Structure 1
Amino acid sequence: MTFSLVARCAETGMFGLAIASSSPAVAARCAYARAGVGAVASQNVTDPTLGPFALDLMQGGMSAAEAISGVRDQGRFIEYRQVLAVDKHGNTAIHSGPNSLGIWTQAQGPDVASGGNLLANETIPQAVVDGFLSSTGHIGDRLIAAMRAGLSAGGEAGPVHSAGMLIVDKVAWPVADLRCDWTEDCPIENIAAAWDIYKPQLEAYVQRALDPREAPSYGVPGDE
C-alpha cells in the first residue's frame, strides 16, 4: 500500500525522502532522515522503530548495507517489513521481507533507492529511480519528479490518499517536512503544490532559526 524513495544530492549533501500510500498519514510513521547521516524509509506493516535504529547505525559509522543488515538481525517480525536506506556516501540498501503485501519490488541507483508494496505492477520502483536520476535541480524538485514518475507508471493497486516529503541539510531539524495526511485527490500533487510555495522560503526559515537578526522580513502585518 506504499511506494517511496530515499535519496542523496551528491552536489549539496542533502538527504531526502518521499513516500505515498493508500493509508492515512504515511509520512508520520515511515519517513526518517538525519543531516550528515542518511535517510531511511520503513514501510509495509511498518515498525516505526526501524528508521531511527538504522540511522543510529549509520551515524555510528555503518554503511547503508551494514545498517540494513543490522535491521534484519535485530528487527522484530522482519519478514513483514520493507526498509530502504541511503548513507552519506550515496550507497543504498533495501530489505523487503517475503511477507510484503501484494506486488512488491525494489530498485536502486546511484544515490537513490525505491521500494513499494501492493503496487499496480512491478515497474514502479524502477520508474521512481529513473525519475530521480533523470531530473535536475533541488533535491525537492527531484523527489517530486520521481514520485510523479512512479504514479505515471501505475502507482499503487488502489487509490493513493496520503504522501510526504522530508529533506534534511546541515542543521539538526528537517529543512522541509511537507505532508498530506489524507485526501480524495492526489496527495503527491498536494505535496508538489506545497513545495512550490515552501521552496522559495526554505533558506529564510533556516536563517530565522540560526540568527533572526540576519533573516529576511517575516512578511506579516506590522513587520518592517
Structure 2
Amino acid sequence: MSPDLTVHVALLILTLSIFFLLLKLLSKRALTNIHYKTNRATLQSGRHLAQASHHLAQARSTPHRAQSQAHAKTSLSEAEKALSLAPRDPSAHVLRAMALDLVDRKAAALRSLHVALSPPCVKSLAARERADALIKRAELKIEVNRRRRVDSAVQDLVEAVRIGGDEPRALGLLGQCYEWKGMRDEAKEAYEKSLRVGPGSIVARQGLDRLGP
C-alpha cells in the first residue's frame, strides 16, 4: 500500500470514528432530554393531581353549595391540567369524573370513567382503584338512564365486588339493581352480604324491609 493511500485510509478511519462518537454523544443527550422532559411532566402532573384531590375532598366536605361548587370546579381544572401532561393517566380521568359529577355533568363524568376503565389506561389502576371506579360508573349509569343501563351497571358491580372484596356500597347498589330487575332472591342475597360487611348500610336494610321475609 502506497504512503498516500495509507494516509487516506487513516484519515477515513479517524473521520468515521469521530462521526460515530459524535452520534453516540448526541443520542445520549437526546435521551437525557427526553427523560428530563418526561420526568418533569410526570412531576407537574402529580402536583396537579394532588391539587385536584385536595379540592375534591373540600368540595365533598363543605356544607355550603357555593363553596362546594367552587372547589369542584377547581378540582376539575387541575385534573384537566394533569391530563394535558399525561393523557393516559387513569387517576386523572377518575378525578375528572368525580369533579364532573359534583358539578352535575353526569354524562361527561361517565365518559371520563369509560376512558379510565378501558385499555391502555385501566392497566395502570390498582385493584382497589379499579373497583372504586367501577362502582362510581355503575352509579352514574343508573343516574343517567336506569332503564337502559341497569344490566351494564350490574356487570360493573359484580366485577367491583370480585376484585375489590365485599364493598357494602357496591353490594347495596347491586341489591337495588337486582330488585329493579325482579330478581328477588339475588337482591336479598346482595343486601344480606352488604349488612354483614357494613351493618350500618341503610340501603341494604331498607331493601330487606321492602322484600320481606
By relative contact order (CA 8 Å, sep 6+), the higher-ranking structure is 1
Greater fraction strand: 1
**TM-score, normalization: structure 1?**
0.29
Greater fraction helix: 2
**TM-score, normalization: structure 2?**
0.30
